[in-house]
Structure 1
Amino acid sequence: MLTCLLSLPADDLQYTLNSMDLSDLIALSLCSKRTKNLAKTSNLKIESITAEIEQNVISLEMFVLGKLEKEIKFVVHKGPSMELHRGNRIEVWRKEGFTQSDWIAHFLSLCDSRVTLLKINNVPSIAHLDTVKQLFPKCDKLQICENNSIELTRAAVSKFLSLADEVRIECNPFDDKNHISELLSLNSKVLRLYNVRNVYKLKLSDLLMANSTYLNIFIARISVKELNRFVKVWMKGNRRFYRPKRIGLFLNRFITHEEVLRGIEYEAVDGQRRKYRLRRSDGKELLVLVELLSVAFEFL
């Protein structure tokens, strides 16, 4: 069958390659160096790749545009075997001499794409993070899941923060000894802290040292008095550099804009009841959006 395929005229061969689904192309690419290069010439478009690390197993989920087989999942173990999940079917593939690293490198080289989302669900040790970093040197989004230990969460943030444009942390590793300020002061583009069961405790000083361009915290515990003081500190600033463009806080209590903006001159934006504009003496502007259980600050 392979010999017949490779003997097709160039135009017919290219048409056949373009008609193949992702799993067929990957199966073809594993036959030889020539078939791997042929698979790369397909017009296959990968919209997203999610890589999830759990213990010593790596799962890759790929979503493909314009194909009947739109989404498939590969589960890669440490040996030469790999599982292909298609709906309710599981196929076991095996290639002698291949390791987990070889499988991952092969997949990513075919797609010519970096991982869209890297999920660190549960790794066996902090040292294993170095292996993960070698396999996935760049990703669009990083998600550190809730079931990781405090030590592993802190290590993962340290190792991967610079590799991703957006970081989501679901474990709350902060207590009296490990304060949230060590994370908020890090330089990141988008930082999302998400934990419902163990809320993030914040103070005025934490908001003042925030260093992410976009910061979202769900759920935050901070007093209205501290929020009011934060706005007043900003109002008294004098062209002081402040990195964030937006801070969004989902709270564990009800608030009103009268409480947040008490003692501060403001105006409603376009007659909206929940969005308010503040102007500083140096011309800087701040939009404050207040809902029953959330507040957001947009620095203009």
Structure 2
Amino acid sequence: MTTAFPLLRLPYLVLMPVLEQMEFMERISLSIISKRARMFVKLLKMKCKHINLTLTGNKIEMRVFFDNSKELTLDMYVNGHTRISLNYYYYIAWWPGPLSPMDYVFPIMEVTHCKSIKQLTLARVSGYGTTIPLLAKLLKIDEVIVEDTTSYSFSPESPLQNVLKIVLPVSSAVTISAYADRTYLREIFKGNFESVTLKNYWGEIMPNFDMKLSLNDLRMTNVKSLELPCTVFKVKKLNRYFKLWMKKKCNDRLEYLRVTTGRWVNIKIKPLLKGLNAVQIPIRTDKTFRSLGNIKQFNSEDSNEEITKEFDITRADGRQATIRISDYGTISFYVWPKSTNKTTNLELNQSSFTRKFSRISNFYNSCIERFK
């Protein structure tokens, strides 16, 4: 018969070196035992890069990504079973203990010093009600991804609606099916989100879907970054929207708009630019654009698209924007900061930095010469 070792009763100066020698998964397991254990494990400063949560079926999947390329995965089942794995190589434990699935999430967030969820994915599942206690405690979510695309999901009696009412107010970005209820999409467009992406999850093409979203829906958006899939807006509607932007009669927060219209857009340049006084400029693949605090490439190397034409338009108040057209029929609209100098929103390349440094160096040397 063995006697349990009173680990947490050790003096602090003895306990901490012991915890430091523990394996990574042993620390995680220890942190879930009690608040006292969690307090000591937290002092080890095991910081993570980010955490993702996925709700699917009767399971909550938690994935914790660390700087050392380690990945911790927890499959927490509503029936009370939880199993933990590290980098998918082996399972550490299967716990049917008294803790509910939600009781594992926040202790791990605490010991990894993570205050927000990077992605919360809502898959096509039922029984969301059991996760309400967990979701209600989340203070910040970077992005909510709604993969549940059934017509019932967006009906008033759907459990998904209760979940969205809780998570959207604390979210910065939303990715949702383009075939969601139009009234619901309108509410999301008007929300104070940083980014909204409509996505065609299953590759379906619905007849006359472009009629489901009107020009007024686009005009009333309040987001900084908006991405729309194929068949949502035609070229003539986009031209009318750009004219509203020129007159300052639409979303003034907009920084980036991306609309996929179809390959035929290249032969409809005139209807797209009609009345905008657009100026065609040389295509530069090295340009970058700052959107939502992140640096975006004008033409990503990961994309198979090729930019075919690029135009600048300028409002009466001096605000400028760039319209780019790809061979895939994608129209990208970049709004520059209120300063008319575009370089405030572009990353300086090495040559421009060298020239500036050279001028500063020459000025400094001239001052030294004067003192001599």
TM-score normalized with structure 2 length:
0.68
Residue 80 to residue 213, structure 1, CA distance change in 2 (3 Å):
same
Give the equivalent residue in structure 2 for 1:51.
53
SS at match of 1:61: strand
Which structure is larger by alpha-carbon Rg, 1 or 2?
A: 2
Give the equivalent residue in structure 1 for 2:288.
none
Structure 1: segments with no counterpart, 5+ residues = none
> Which has the larger displacement, 84-93 or 226-235?
84-93
SS at match of 1:76: strand
Residue 258 to residue 129, structure 1, CA distance change in 2 (3 Å):
farther
Whichever structure has more helix as a proportion of its residues is 2
Give the equivalent residue in structure 1 for 2:276.
264
Identical pairs, percent = 20
TM-score normalized with structure 1 length:
0.83
Give the equivalent residue in structure 1 for 2:295.
none
User: 2:224 matched to 1:213?
Assistant: yes
Question: What amino acid maps onto 1:215 in structure 2?
Answer: L
The answer as to whether partners of 2:236 and 2:272 remain within 8 angstroms in 1 is: yes
Cα shift readout 1:178-210 (whole Å, capped 9, x = no counterpart): 474333222211111111325663432222111
The answer as to whether partners of 1:61 and 1:71 remain within 8 angstroms in 2 is: yes
Residue 11 to residue 249, structure 1, CA distance change in 2 (3 Å):
farther
Residue 156 to residue 212, structure 1, CA distance change in 2 (3 Å):
farther
Q: Separation in 2 of the partners of 1:131 and 1:122?
A: 20
User: 2:291 matched to 1:290?
Assistant: no
Residue 12 to residue 260, structure 1, CA distance change in 2 (3 Å):
farther
SS at match of 2:126: coil
SS at match of 1:117: strand
Residue 27 to residue 130, structure 1, CA distance change in 2 (3 Å):
closer
Q: Separation in 2 of the partners of 1:131 and 1:171?
A: 29
Q: Separation in 1 of the partners of 2:162 and 2:332?
A: 29
> Which has the larger displacement, 208-217 or 107-116?
107-116
SS at match of 2:230: strand
Q: Separation in 2 of the partners of 1:64 and 1:215?
A: 30
Residue 16 to residue 259, structure 1, CA distance change in 2 (3 Å):
farther
What's the Cα RMSD here? 3.1
Q: Separation in 2 of the partners of 1:224 and 1:206?
A: 16
SS at match of 2:265: coil
Cα shift readout 1:21-75 (whole Å, capped 9, x = no counterpart): 44211222244443222211113121111111113321111112237xx012111
Cα shift readout 1:109-161 (whole Å, capped 9, x = no counterpart): 32231222111113424645633422434212211114452334655444322
Q: Separation in 2 of the partners of 1:248 and 1:255?
A: 14
Question: What amino acid maps onto 1:105 in structure 2?
Answer: F
State the aligned residue count: 295
